Amino acid sequence: MDTLSYKTISVNKEHANKKWYIVDAEGQTLGRLASEVAQVLRGKRKTCFTPHSDCGDNVIIINAEKVVLTGKKLTEKTYVHHTGYPGGQRFRTVEEQLKRKPIAVLEHAIKGMLPKTVLGNAIFRNLYVYAGPDHKHQAQQPIELKINTK
């Protein structure tokens, strides 16, 4: 028997065989969509998943402004940031954030589900979010990814 057939393969960035996927966020629940996209970005759905390398796929999300939140999250959930000055803590509800920066809502949810390391930052760069139905990645010929979260 050949000993190479039993060898565990550790995939690195060059041999990851990345694909491009497109996801339509219209009518999708925010948290469920974010967790599914985070798994695809990380590469956990692949048989060659390697936890210490960027072996996930690239994901394009369109219609980010039409994402759905359940319950009272639109009015009660708040995002907090600090300006860096004394008394500079600022609050914004999800409803306000969706009006000002609809992309930031999805990015914040997905980034929170990725590792908090240099690898997590590299994986996050494989995500492309657009507020409307248009995107600039037609040349990559993305495959439509169906996420059943409705």
> Where along the chain do its domains lie?
24-67+113-144
Lookup: tokens for 59: 């994901």
3-state secondary structure of 4: helix
pTM (2 d.p.): 0.89
DSSP 139: G
Q: What is the pLDDT of residue 1?
A: 46
Give the model's confidence band at 148: pLDDT under 50 very low, under 70 low, under 90 confident, else very high: confident
Q: Which pLDDT tens digit goes with each residue over 102-121?
A: 999 999 999 999 999 999 99
Type of residue found at 142: P
What is the CATH class of 24-67+113-144?
alpha beta
Strands 89-93 and 20-24: unpaired
Residue 4 has pLDDT above 90, yes or no: no
What is the model's pLDDT at position 8?
74
